[in-house]
Structure 1
Amino acid sequence: MRKFFLFTLMGLLLFSCKPYETTKIRKNQITYEDFRAEQRLYPTQDGLIKYIDKGEGPAILLLHGVPVSGWLYRKMIDPLAKKGYRVIVPDMLGYGSSDSPEGFEIYNNENHAKRILELMESLGIESWTHVMHDAGGLWTWELIKQDPDKIEKLVVLNTIIYEEGFYPPVRMKPGGFAKTAMWAYRNGVTTNTLLKKLFKEGLKENTLNPVDVEGYKTPLLEGKTDAMYYFFSQTCNDLPDYSEVFENVKVPVSVIWGIHDTMLQWPPQENRAANALGVRPEDIHFVDEKHFIQETKAQEITYKILDFMKK
């Protein structure tokens, strides 16, 4: 009987751990259903990729990281499109609304980069302004390695550059423990716990409501964890060195960084990164936030990107 009560208590604690702090819905708030309704399909040889293609004009690609999706950029898409840009926002394979096929190396940096290049080619976009966040940086460095002439301007948002600034909240060894953790994430056992921890570490103040969280939680409950498994059990333990790729970055670069980020820190790598990427001091901007700057500083980031693109 005592064990029964203990397991019941553990279950209540797990399922009552809500990853949002308010239930108040904002005016004209975007729902995940509406977001998905705007997504289009691109069939790769590895599986279907969902993406948003909105607006007309010079192209700008907004690339997410782990364990999120294009939903992270939902507040920036319309403002950029209304300013005369064609905004492309993919859900990378294994994330968001895109397929999550079984496999391991299918989710390595090389394959992620290859699929981005294929998507942009299918859209008839020869070059673009590239915005990336978190692990999207690794996929971007690999993209530049594969084809250095596609990106016209580069915007760095709290992304992975060097080991010195990389402090992931999760590192796992491949195997049973990591697979069990992924099972728990996608079956509702620790889904809320994961997200609550993520937002606690990634935001100065968690002001998300259930509509916001739905876009992060739904893909996990749909089973989108294989790509996460690869990242947490492989990439986090063996971070690639793209130093030689940085030497080939000859385009204008802007850095917009949440200065309170504990997972991806700018100060430990600032001189090395700024020099390697050739970033001018006036193109380095700090915002008063932690990791998920698109959630609370979308307007500020959008303005800074638009100013940079006009130069």
Structure 2
Amino acid sequence: MQKFFVLVLFGVLLFSCKPYQNTKIRKNQITYEDFRGDQRLYPTDGGLVKYIDKGKGPAIVLLHGVPTSGWLYRKMIDPLVDRGYRVIVPDMLGYGSSDSPEGFELYNAENHAKRLLQLMESLGIEKWSHVMHDAGGLWTWELIKQNPNKIEKLIVLNTIIYEDGFYPPVRMKPGGMAKTAMWAYRNGVTTNTLLKKLFEEGLKENTLNVLDVEGYKTPLLEGKTDAMYYFFSQTCNELPDYSDVFKNIDIPVSVIWGIHDTMLQWPPQENRVARALKINPEDIHFVDEKHFIQETKAKEISYKILDFLSK
């Protein structure tokens, strides 16, 4: 009898917890297979990094966070390309289509930043505008620390800046429990549960369909969890302080923030951020969403980014 209940529980976890609510496919909706088909590859010391390089003109980088990938920006790429920009969208090592080698410190902010700088150098891009989200902020602050002269304009989307306002959905201690959780994520045991919780907390209303979720779920089932393990068991517990880096930032900065975000809250840090990054009040914008603003507000965000870049 006990074995029966265990099997039932496993079945519930595996099949009944769908991370999407909408079954309707949108017209001309991109599939994850098509998205991957547009990606190129760059070999790094840690492994292959996949990225999209589309369009001509001034370069703009769209940088994801955890546990997402460049797929998060799929709805924003063409609008920016159509307005004359060269759009670079990387999957950082350990995420999306990029390699996920075994290791620990290769997933720290310093190494993520170093690899991104190397990628941009390989593309012959000396300077660029830069959009980041979530943990992409940490990798960006580290990039600026390593080379402060690369980013011309900075756009902040619900990004990790200070401990104030940082309430991650998961914090883990390094070790067996965390590793077991990662095993369950990549083996289909709790993959749907993780994604459903993520979208419930990260969107006012989960309107994603099966094709949307495919781009988030596939990398997990392919085993892309080592970078997540580092972030949730290390970074979340010892958030770096980049206050000294902020003092030396002397470029235009814009904030576009989902004001209902519970994971990265704006009010506890708004005055401190505005002062530290020297942001003009007219360059701070709020959108009616939670954390994953690129999913439901892609057009609005794109317009605001284009307006800021045109100044």
Q: Smaller-chain TM-score range?
A: over 0.9
Q: Which residue of 2 aligns with 1:297?
A: 297
Q: Which amino acid aligns with 1:64?
A: H
Distance 1:12 1:235 in 2: 33
Query: Partner letter of residue 288 of structure 1?
Result: D
SS in 2 for 1:164: coil
Q: Please name the residue that 2:166 is paired with.
A: 166
The equivalent of 1:257 in structure 2 is: 257
What residue in structure 2 maps to residue 106 of structure 1? Answer: 106
Question: Hey, what does 1:126 align to over in structure 2?
Answer: 126
> What letter matches 2:6 in structure 1?
F
| Partner SS for 1:163 | coil
Shifted more, 93-102 versus 8-17: the winner is 8-17
The secondary structure found in structure 1 opposite 2:307 is helix
Amino acid in structure 1 at the alignment position of 2:18:
K
Residue 99 of structure 1: how far off its partner (Å): 0.2
Question: 1:9 Cα deviation (Å)?
Answer: 2.2
Cα RMSD of the aligned pairs, angstroms, is 0.5
| Partner-residue secondary structure (3-state), 1:149 | coil
- The residue that corresponds to 1:155 in the other structure is 155
1:5 aligns with 2:4: yes
| C-alpha separation in 2, matches of 1:13 and 1:129 | 45
Deviation of residue 248 (structure 1)? 1.0
Where does structure 1 differ by over 2 angstroms across 4 or more consecutive aligned residues? none
Q: 2:231 maps to what in 1?
A: 231
Distance 2:265 2:279 in 1: 17
SS at match of 1:46: coil
Q: CA deviation at 1:296?
A: 0.1
For 1:81, what is the secondary structure of its paired residue?
A: helix
Counterpart CA distance in 1 for 2:294 and 2:131 is: 12
Q: Secondary structure at the match of 2:173?
A: coil
* Partners of 1:177 and 1:222 in 2: CA distance: 20
Q: What amino acid maps onto 1:297 in structure 2?
A: K
Q: Distance in 1 between matches of 2:72 and 2:83?
A: 20
Q: Mapping of 1:59-78 within 5 angstroms?
A: 59-78=59-78
The CA deviation at 1:165 is 1.1
**Whole-angstrom distance in 1 between the partners of 2:236 and 2:220:** 20
Q: Give the Cα separation in 1 of the matches to 2:119 and 2:136.
A: 15
The one-letter code sitting in structure 2 at the alignment partner of 1:290 is K
**Match runs of 1:139-150 below 5 Å:** 139-150=139-150
Letter in 2 for 1:39: Q
Q: Distance in 2 between matches of 1:222 and 1:278?
A: 42
Secondary structure at the residue paired with 1:156?
A: strand
Residue 84 in structure 1 maps to residue 89 in structure 2: no
Deviation of the 1:13 alpha carbon = 1.6
Q: 2:165, 2:151 → 1: CA distance?
A: 24
Structure 2: gaps (5+ residues): none
TM-score, normalised by the number of residues in structure 2: 0.99
Residue deviations 1:259-290 (CA, integer Å, cap 9, x gap): 00000000000000010000000000000000
**How far did residue 5 of structure 1 move?**
2.6
In the alignment, structure 1 residue 31 sits paired with structure 2 residue 53: no
Structure 1: gaps of 5 or more residues: none
Task: Look up the equivalent residue of 2:166 and give its one-letter code.
Answer: F
Instruction: Report the Cα distance in structure 2 between the residues aligned to 1:8 and 1:241, rounded to whole angstroms.
Output: 46
The CA distance in 2 between the partners of 1:182 and 1:46, in whole Å, is: 20
Q: Distance in 2 between matches of 1:246 and 1:280?
A: 15
| Secondary structure at 1:158 match in 2 | strand
**2:218, 2:225 → 1: CA distance?**
12
Q: Distance in 1 between matches of 2:34 and 2:159?
A: 28
Residue-pair matches, total: 310
2:187 equivalent in structure 1: 187
Q: Which amino acid aligns with 2:219?
A: P
Instruction: Give the alignment's TM-score, normalised by structure 1.
Output: 0.99
CA distance in 2, matches of 1:9, 1:170: 26
